Every structure is written in structure tokens, then in C-alpha cells.
Chain A
């Protein structure tokens, strides 16, 4: 079980992200889980924090933990949406939940597209002969992110005084190819471009592709255990054993700062290590 940040460690700054509807996909563990905590402390009273993931149990536990942290003082409305974003019903359920939120008094809509999968990294590109497998991968990692974003932006349209922010949790893999990681690299490259187009189309939407660095999560575990490329597997293992992996908190904190400063160029790709 991950450690909770203490009240002293969070909320060090007086700045905030406004009275917001904040949606986080893939919130049940790893980076999404940490972001839920970090964001909850930056949202003004009567904000709504919407946590989306496939596993209701983990989401409910996360909700409890966040509420316990505040004892209700923050008047944060935490909502859990159990949804599989690989499936059409999951995307629609998520968008519907956003639609049902009363946002007339809000000044910020913040969508964090974090849900993702690694794909089968034990195999190389030449083994991906089955379009069904590749389509499933893209359905979650590319289509799901586009359609959720589209649905949320349509449901909560532009209006004076409303800031709308969309974050794409990206990766170095969006920019650089890695052997045995064809699905993940392809998906991340597609997403980065997708969000660059969005930024070009909607100058009022604040779009950020944030590459969080190598995080100590289940995804990283999968990477170092399963990667088909020997060199890659070794370098992940040594990152782990030499303590070079980042905590989600450390990386999340940089993302929080980016959102608070709000001076990033919309559509840009920013990496933990550049900041």
C-alpha cells in the first residue's frame, strides 16, 4: 500500500487550481492515484474530483482516504466512476458523469488523461500479426483518450471565466523508439500529436503533454520484468536497484507546479527532467 502524503507535505503553497471539476483517468493506482491526492489539496471548496478506473473497490478506497485526509472541511465532492476506457460504454459513462456535474459555478475544468497500458512488451513488432490485438491496444490508449477529451470539452463548452485544461500523460516513448515497445511508443506518439492538434484548434484550451519520467509503479515493474529487449530490461533493472526511479509524488509535484504556474505553451511536450 502506498504511503499517504502527510498534511504537512501537501498544501505548502497558497495557490490553487480554482473551484474545479477535475477528472483523472487511471486513478486507482500508480501515478493517477498520487495525482488524485495532490490535486485534491489544490482544489477550492465545492470542487468535484472525478476518479475513473476499472476497479470500483480501489477507487472507493481512494475516495475514503482523500475524504479522511480532509475530514470534510474542504467540501470536496469525490466521485468514483468505474469505467473501462477500452470500451465504448466506458468512454460514454465517463463523459456522462462529467455532463451530470453542475459546473455553472466552477472556474476550471481539468482533465488528466492518465489511463494507459504498456501492451505486451515481451514481444517484438514482427509478432504483431493480429489486428484485433493492436486495435484493442489503440482503443484504450489512443481512441479512448481522444473521445473522452472530446466528450468532456463538448459537455463543458467554452465560456468566459472558465479555464479548461487537458493533460496528456506522455512519455519519452512518444519521441524515441524503444525495442520491444512498439505498441506503447506508437500509442504515445499518436497521443502527443493528437493533443498538439487540439492545442492548434482550441487556443483557449490549455493542453499539456507531460512526460513524468521513470516512475516506481506497477507499470515500471512490468517493464523491467517483461521487456523483450535484453538491454532495455537491464537498464530498467539497474534504474530500480540504484534507486533512480522517481516517486510518483516527486513527478506529480512538478506537474502540479506546471498547472499552478500555467505558463506552459499549449500543446507542448514537457519532460520531468527538463523542468
Chain B
């Protein structure tokens, strides 16, 4: 595997790996990993993870694939993922963590409807806290050393930068995450930190967006995008992401959007 197209011997962790962008990412990245690499897939659905693992095993050998069924919205879930990577052979060139797991939140409601702190707390626990705690845990498990490149990717969104009516939880969570990873980039200059906004992907999340968004204009524009074939496939977006990661020229902490690249 050449240095340009491959990631060498790597430990790759992908959250929200059971479907959508996370799943496609696992399938795209596996062929780029050298023998002896490990791919850790985390999601709530063990069934879907096992299916993915089966799909992956048809490809490269020499790749260890581990499935971790975990709800990152709770402490035990985060801990389970960290535990899983504890016994991975530390002799790797590359560590990549893709913080992809996320939820849209209830987009059928407006700001003034979120009177229940429990609901908001639960949303932030999955979408903000778990990303920070998992990142911290993974990086502590594989501390800085010569010969090890550590990459942290935050799957971001235009919503991190721009407000959308009826999307308060998602926008707030994405804005929080972008800032979180910017602080991390400031603190740890040896890390490669990327906030990647993948563009409007044709996934279940997008389906939820176009069927449930309370804001009429937003719902219509999603429907139009879908009807006119303007949604991106996950692969289209992932190809750009991987190119950016391999070129490795982005400023750490930057927010890059599919449409910027």
C-alpha cells in the first residue's frame, strides 16, 4: 500500500458505523489499511454491525474488525468503546477517530417547545459530551509518540455555522462540537483535527429531515434536493474526505465543507 493511497498500519475507530455515512466510511477506508490494522465499529445495533463486519471480511485480510454495540448517550457506552481498544497492538503508524455518531433531535418542534431539560440534556449527552469523552479516552490510550500520526475527525455540518429554523438541537450540538474540536486543536499541536461537513447526504437522517422538519421552507428545500437528485451519495463525500486526510495539508481545527473542496 503506497503512502499516498493508504493509511499504513492503523487503528481506525468509527462511531455511528451501522448505517449511513459511518457504514460507508468503514467500507471505503478498510481497503486503505495495511495488514495488521484494526477497525473498531461502534453503534447501538449489534445486528447491523455484524452485517457490516461480514461485508468487510469479504475484502482485505489482515484487518481486525471489532464490533462494539454501545449507546454513546450514556457513560457505559463510551467506556465500552474505550475498553475495546485497550488491547489493540500499539505498534501502529496511524490512529484515526471518526466522531460520526449523531442524531437530528426532534426537528418537528421549535425552540420554545424545548421546555424539558431532560430532553435537551439527553440530546447533548450523545451529540456533544460523548464526542469529547470518547476522543479524550482514545487519545489517552494512544498518547503522542514519534512515528504515530493521530487524526481526529468531527463529522460536522453547515448547521455548525448557520442557524436553521426548527433545528435548534442539531445546530447547537454541531456548533458546540466544532468549537470543542477547535479548542482541542489549539491545545494539542501534534494532533490533526478536522471538522468535516459532508454536505447533504442521501441517508436516513436526510429522510427524517425532509419528512419531519417543522419549518415549511426547510422541509420543501430538502424535498426538492431529493427529488432533483441533488443529494450526495455517502461515497461521493467520503472520497473527498479521504483525499483531504491523505493530502494532510488542512490546518488543524479547520472546518471544511464538501462544497469547499
Contact = CB atoms under 8 A, between A and B. Distances in A.
B116 A186 contact: no
Interface in A121-146: 124-132, 134-135, 138-139, 142-144, 146
Contacts of B78: 131
Nearest to A132: B75
Q: Contact residue range for chain A?
A: 35 or more
B163 interface: yes
A111 to B, nearest CB: 12
Contacts of B179: 174, 177, 185-186, 188-190
Contact of B110 (A185, A188, A189, A201): A201
B172 interface: yes
A178 B115 contact: no
A127 B136 CA distance: 6
B121 A131 contact: no
A130 B114 contact: no
B68 interface: no
Contacts of B185: 177
> Among B111, B116, B176, B182, which residue has the most Cβ atoms of chain A within 10 A?
B111
A193 B171 contact: yes
Interface stretch (B8-16, B47-55, B123-131, B204-212): B123-131
Interface of A: 88, 91, 95, 124-132, 134-135, 138-139, 142-144, 146-147, 149-151, 153-154, 174, 177-182, 185-194, 196-202, 229, 267
- B interface majority secondary structure: helix
A199 to B, nearest CB: 7
A197 B163 contact: yes
B115 A147 contact: yes
B88 interface: no
Nearest to B180: A186
Contacts of A127: 136
Contact of B172 (A95, A129, A142, A154): A142
